[in-house]
Amino acid sequence: MKYSQLFIASIHEPKKLAAFRLLPIGKVFQYVFLFVILSTLVSFLRFLKGDIDLFGTSQELVEYAETVGSLLYPMAFVLQLVISTFYLFIRISFFGLIGLGLLKLLKRRGEYRHIWRTSAISITVPILVSLILDVAHVENSFNFPISAALHIVYLHLAAKYYPKQPSAKIIRA
């Protein structure tokens, strides 16, 4: 399956979103890393433009940046890449746990590995919204709750298409 197909289906097809739980984990990681690269590039471009003050008012850090010179930019890019990777995988894992709770509430079958994959693919819209809000300089206190609510909605819509739990049979003597 192509990344463009995954992208389009993750936006508006909850049934396919639930079916993505069966994708190989390598394909899911590759898809997530596309968003890692995207968020890193957006963050790095904001840094280059001067929107992000990396050093604050610390005089020691400003002096260190002057000493490092042009090595500052590759170091900043690598640092932003590591932070974006860490952030996205922690976020996917956290919402995977929430998705596991949704599966229990909806009485659907599924393991953590399945809902983690669904969570990883369903992060498409929340991350895009988060990036748009970030570029538009919307305050961070609004950014996470909005994207988190979207992520939970997408997980809920997908969880409804997971297989139902088998009903317990009563054995009569």
Has residue 2 been placed in a domain? Answer: no
Tell me the pTM.
0.85
Has residue 129 been placed in a domain? Answer: yes
* Domain interval for residue 141: 10-159
Report the distance separating Cα 163 and Cα 137, nearest Å: 41
Contact 62, 55 (CB under 8 A): yes
pLDDT in tens, 122-146: 999 999 999 898 888 777 778 889 9
Has residue 5 been placed in a domain? Answer: no
Has residue 91 been placed in a domain? Answer: yes
Q: What is the pLDDT of residue 121?
A: 94
Report the distance separating Cα 39 and Cα 117, nearest Å: 20
The pair of three-digit structure tokens given for residue 164, joined into one six-digit string = 């139902």
Residue 121: Cβ-neighbour burial (10 angstroms; 0-12, 13-18, 19+): buried
Least confident span in 22-31, 56-65, 82-91, 135-144? 56-65
Q: Is a pLDDT exceeding 70 seen at residue 57?
A: no
Has residue 51 been placed in a domain? Answer: yes
Instruction: Report the 3 state secondary structure along the chain.
Output: CCHHHHHHHHHHCHHHHHHHHHCCHHHHHHHHHHHHHHHHHHHHHHHHHCCCCCCCCCHHHHHHHHHHHHHHHHHHHHHHHHHHHHHHHHHHHHHHHHHHHHHHHCCECCCHHHHHHHHHHCCHHHHHHHHHHHHCCCCHHHHHHHHHHHHHHHHHHHHCCCCECCCCCCCCC
Has residue 168 been placed in a domain? Answer: no
How many domains does the chain contain in total? 1
Report the distance separating Cα 18 and Cα 161, nearest Å: 6
Q: What is the pLDDT confidence band of residue 53, given thresholds at 50, 70 and 90?
A: low
- When the pLDDT of each residue in the chain is averaged and rounded to a whole number, the result is 87
Has residue 19 been placed in a domain? Answer: yes
pLDDT in tens, 66-99: 787 788 888 889 989 999 999 999 999 999 999 9
Q: What is the pLDDT confidence band of residue 169, given thresholds at 50, 70 and 90?
A: low
The one-letter amino acid code at 163 reads P
Could you tell me which residue, 16 or 138, shows the higher pLDDT? 16
Q: HSE-up of 42 (CA within 13 Å, CB side)?
A: 18
Has residue 100 been placed in a domain? Answer: yes
